[in-house]
Chain A
Amino acid sequence: MLVWRSGTKAHQQALCQFVCTDPPKANYDEHRGKHHPRPWELEVQSHLRGQRLPAPPGSAIALGFDQQGLSAVVEYAFSRSEEQFIITALAVAQRCQRRRYGTEALQYVLQSLRVTRVNEGVDCGVFARIDPRNDASRSLFDRAGFEYIGLFGGYEMWVSDL
């Protein structure tokens, strides 16, 4: 079980050192040039490490900690014009893969969004964009009850009601 905290300035250093992919850097391959087996993981890791805490109004970054430190990060927000919620990033630390922390992170977000929906009096659903090569995320969102509704701008759109 992770302990969840809303990201504050005190968590900045932990977020700046967060690693969720292996290898952590694209390697040079003689035939392919710069190459990483899962570039989408490298991109989300770089995005999260560059985020400043606390998140600006209308968005949130939640951090899940285990006894060794930062284990999972999830970023979510109102979409443009506050019509829907969007989960913009969800990542689990490389050192604690296969512990179902991704499922825990997603459940945490959905719970947070349900409370937001009631408190703010809005009638939003939630969606996320997934890289079509990212089988792990597709399976995670599928298990959580999200549905695939199509490909938009090269990314799969997965939607759920709250």
Chain B
Amino acid sequence: MSYVEPVAGVPTLTRAGATPPGCRNERAVGNDGLTDLEREDLARKYREGPAREATDEELRAVAEWLRRRRANAGLA
């Protein structure tokens, strides 16, 4: 097959890379000894646990604590 000069303005196709976009490799091990998949699983647990959205019940409890604390500070 002979070499073909690239033509300006004509797009070419490329083969799919060995790794997905962003160089993500699910089996690669980082300096924490975890693979991307293991790390993502732990991160998801954290986002659904201590970093989750506040519930109405939690916000009510915080607001009530603040109201009482400020009322007490006003009396002191």
Question: Which single member of A46, A83, A161 contacts B69 (CB below 8 Å)?
Answer: A161
Residue on A with the closest CB to B73? A161
Inter-chain contact total with CB atoms closer than 8 Å: 105
Tell me the complex Cα distance, A161–B71, Å: 12
**Distance (Å) between the CB of B31 and the closest chain A CB?**
5
Identify the interface centre among A17, A43, A154: most chain B CB within 10 Å of its CB: A43
How long is the Cα–Cα vector from A131 to B46 in the complex, in angstroms? Answer: 10
| In the bound complex, CA of A149 to CA of B70 (Å) | 15
B59 at the interface (CB under 8 A from A): yes
Residues of the B chain whose Cβ atoms lie less than 8 Å from the Cβ of A46: 32, 34, 38-43, 46
Q: Any chain B CB within 8 A of the CB of A127? A: yes
Is B54 in contact with A79, judged by CB distance below 8 angstroms? yes
Which residues in B have some Cβ–Cβ distance to A below 8 Å? 30-34, 38-43, 45-47, 49-55, 57-59, 61-63, 65-66, 69-70
Other CB < 8 Å A-B pairs besides A43-B43, A88-B51, A127-B54, 4 of them?
A: A19-B32, A43-B45, A131-B49, A155-B50
- A interface residues (Cβ-Cβ under 8 A, vs B): 16-17, 19, 23-25, 40, 42-47, 49-50, 75, 79-81, 83-84, 86, 88-89, 125, 127-131, 147, 149-150, 152-155, 157, 159, 161
